[in-house]
Amino acid sequence: MTTMSCRRHSCFISVVLLLLVLVVVVPSSVAIDSILSRFQQYLQIDTSHPSPNYHQAADFILSQAKSLSLESQTLEFVKNKPLILLKWTGKNPHLPSILLNSHTDVVPVEPHKWSHPPFDAAINHQNGNIYARGSQDMKCVGLQYLEAIRKLKDSNFEPLRTIYISFVPDEEIGGHDGAEKFAKSKIFDEMNVGIMLDEGLASPEDNYRLFYAERCPMWLVIKATGAPGHGAKLYDNTAMENLLKSIESVRRFRASQFDLVKAGLKAEGEVVSVNMVFLKAGTPSPTGFVMNLQPSEAQAGFDIRVPPIADQASLERRIAEEWAPASRNMTFEFKQKVSVYDENGKPIMTGHDSSNPWWSLLEAAILEANGKIGKPEIFPASTDARYFRLRGIPAIGFSPMANTPILLHDHNEFLNKEEYLKGIDVYVSILKAFASFVEAEKDTAAFRDEL
Ligand SMILES: *[C@@H]1O[C@H](CO)[C@@H](O)[C@H](O)[C@H]1NC(C)=O
Ligand SMILES: [Zn+2]
């Protein structure tokens, strides 16, 4: 009997415990499911180039904005390339605002090379990975901004500063019809942006990565000319020989830069990268190329990326004097050349120490949310952040993805659901800090008044 009643007793306790567990756990797991399902919905919209479904993405974002009671407007700097701008007005709308930027487009896929269909956004139930194009670059960030705002609104947080959230088109094809036009617009001027956040990169380590600048592309084509002649004749100054001398010189420079990275002396974003991307020479024949003729022209193309800490002017001299010297009958042109300097001749970089209060706030907010941070970095390629830095706006590249292999633009791009959820809490912490920030300049004003 006693045993029996005891069993019944413990049974009763178990039921009560189970009910408690259900009451406590179920609502939050429902909340998590809906957070993940919103991310999946966004990933399922195929916004890959060359024909991104921008309108469907815009409709989705606008529906999210409505559910969050954010103001919204759709800007079309170029027809059928909508840019969605959302706004959460702060208690002091005169203070410089915060801009959270993300791009809605993604790069194309080769679906047959994926283990999971790239626009299904299925969650692998063994490991919790969400496989989809855009899961890292950068639909994660765009929706994490919104989920962080949802949490802040649920907790009745009121921002002091106005928060803008922009969803821009075309980043993956240069951003000229998206962020570039936006950053130069009157609408942007009126937003009075004090700090903007844009994309970063995943980190295979347990630290997050923060980017304060980016390398600028210089797409160089060098062309050699020389006397044509019989394929059997040894003579000087052929186009091929002239070009090969340059290629050897470029290769030595490339190796010297790469050695600095290999030796751990510099990070990837801190050196000049040079990669040969095409070679064009030879006299075509019906079966390939004429084999007994040395051609009179030869060309090579290079993708060069220059960090703003490098001396771009001296690199240009090197190109003119060593890589394409007129003395060797060579010419060169840039298919694209982005200056590392702003209009005042200063390298385009965002302050990445205590001289920039936003940087300090960001670091503290990430640590507060139990995140770790690596050394500040220069983004090795280009992002939309450059258009905002050019306008003198502090811009920081950050995608909260630690313990994640770098798979942007790769097959089987994924983000683990736990990393995604953690990133939302990191943005909650950042937005609280940014939106509440009052600059010390008030004291200076008071001081001035006293004088
Ligand atoms: C450059 O071209 C001129 C005219 O064709 C030729 O005389 C000279 O040898 C060439 N020099 C070199 C270094 O190729
Ligand atoms: Zn991106």
The verdict on 315 and 395 lying in the same domain is: no
Pairing state between β 83-88 and 163-168: antiparallel
User: Separation of 237 CA from ligand 1 center, angstroms?
Assistant: 6
Whether 429 lines ligand 1, by a CB cut-off of 6 Å, is no
State the pLDDT at residue 186.
98
The last residue of one of the domains, among 336, 361, 382, is 336
Position 181 in a domain = yes
State the pLDDT at residue 41.
98
Residue 130 three-state SS = strand
The verdict on 318 and 409 lying in the same domain is: no
Which protein residue's CA is at the shortest distance from atom 14 of ligand 1?
A: 237
Position 307 in a domain = yes
Distance CA(389)–CA(214), nearest Å, equals 10
State the pLDDT at residue 123.
97
Distance CA(196)–CA(174), nearest Å, equals 19
Position 302 in a domain = yes
State the pLDDT at residue 292.
97
State the pLDDT at residue 6.
47
User: Separation of 201 CA from ligand 2 center, angstroms?
Assistant: 9
- pLDDT classification of 172: cutoffs 50, 70, 90: very high
- pLDDT classification of 257: cutoffs 50, 70, 90: very high
The verdict on 188 and 249 lying in the same domain is: no
Position 346 in a domain = no
The verdict on 260 and 307 lying in the same domain is: yes
Residue linked to tokens 């990133």: 423
Whether 400 lines ligand 1, by a CB cut-off of 6 Å, is no
Position 437 in a domain = yes
| Number of domains observed in the structure of the chain | 2
Atom number in ligand 1 closest to CA 242: 14
Cα separations (Å) of 145 from 245, 389, 409, 418?
51, 21, 22, 16
**What percentage of the chain exceeds 90 in pLDDT?**
90
Position 46 in a domain = yes
Residue pLDDT, tens place only, 277-323: 999 999 999 999 999 999 999 999 999 999 999 999 999 999 999 99
The verdict on 323 and 426 lying in the same domain is: no
Question: In this structure, what DSSP letter does residue 347 have?
Answer: B
The angle, 0 to 180 degrees and rounded to 10, between the axes of the packed helices 2-44 and 139-154 is 130
Residue pLDDT, tens place only, 182-211: 999 999 999 999 999 999 999 999 999 999
The verdict on 332 and 233 lying in the same domain is: yes
Q: Give Cα 368 to chain centroid, integer Å.
A: 23
- One-letter-per-residue 3-state SS of 308-327: CCCCHHHHHHHHHHHHCCHH
Residue pLDDT, tens place only, 369-405: 999 999 999 999 999 999 999 999 999 999 999 999 9
Whether 237 lines ligand 1, by a CB cut-off of 6 Å, is yes
pLDDT at residue 24 greater than cutoff 90: no
The verdict on 195 and 101 lying in the same domain is: yes
User: Taking the chain, what is the end-to-end CA distance rounded to the nearest angstrom?
Assistant: 89
Closest listed residue to residue 267, CA positions, set 385, 373, 378, 395: 378
Q: Name all contacts of 436-445 with Cβ < 8 Å and 24+ positions apart.
A: 436/159, 436/160, 436/161, 437/160, 437/161, 437/357, 437/358, 437/361, 438/95, 438/160, 439/357, 440/357
| Contact (Cβ atoms closer than 8 angstroms) between residue 315 and residue 272 | yes
The verdict on 37 and 101 lying in the same domain is: yes
User: Separation of 227 CA from ligand 1 center, angstroms?
Assistant: 7
What is this structure's pTM?
Answer: 0.87
Q: For residue 48, list its beta bridge partners.
A: 106
What CATH number is attached to the domain comprising 275? Answer: 3.30.70.360
Higher pLDDT, 26 or 231: 231
The verdict on 151 and 41 lying in the same domain is: yes
The last residue of one of the domains, among 304, 336, 368, is 336
State the pLDDT at residue 20.
56
State the pLDDT at residue 451.
44
Q: How many CB atoms lie within 10 A of CB 87?
A: 18
The verdict on 138 and 65 lying in the same domain is: yes
Q: Name all contacts of 47-53 with Cβ < 8 Å and 24+ positions apart.
A: 47/104, 47/105, 47/106, 47/134, 48/105, 48/106, 48/107, 48/108, 48/109, 48/133, 49/105, 49/106, 49/107, 49/108, 49/172, 49/173, 50/108, 52/104, 52/105, 52/106, 52/169
Position 246 in a domain = yes
State the pLDDT at residue 332.
98
The verdict on 235 and 372 lying in the same domain is: no
The last residue of one of the domains, among 268, 302, 336, is 336
Domain that holds residue 282: 217-336
Which protein residue's CA is at the shortest distance from atom 13 of ligand 1?
A: 328
| Contact (Cβ atoms closer than 8 angstroms) between residue 65 and residue 86 | yes
Position 168 in a domain = yes
Q: Does residue 384 have an active-site annotation?
A: no
Q: How many CB atoms lie within 10 A of CB 34?
A: 12
| Contact (Cβ atoms closer than 8 angstroms) between residue 196 and residue 394 | yes
Q: Where are the alpha helices (DSSP H) in 307-440?
A: 312-318, 357-368, 385-390, 417-436
- With the most atoms of ligand 1 within 8 angstroms of its CB, the residue from 237, 238, 297 to mutate is 237
What CATH number is attached to the domain comprising 161? Answer: 3.40.630.10
Atom number in ligand 1 closest to CA 224: 14
Distance CA(156)–CA(12), nearest Å, equals 38
Closest listed residue to residue 169, CA positions, set 85, 252, 88: 85
Q: Does residue 105 have an active-site annotation?
A: yes
User: Separation of 226 CA from ligand 1 center, angstroms?
Assistant: 6
> Annotated catalytic residue: which of 171, 177, 270, 363?
171
Distance CA(331)–CA(319), nearest Å, equals 10
Beta strands in 89-215 (DSSP E): 97-103, 129-131, 163-168, 193-198, 207-208, 211-214
Considering every ligand atom, which ligand is closest to the CA of 174? 2
The verdict on 103 and 223 lying in the same domain is: no
Average pLDDT, the chain: 93
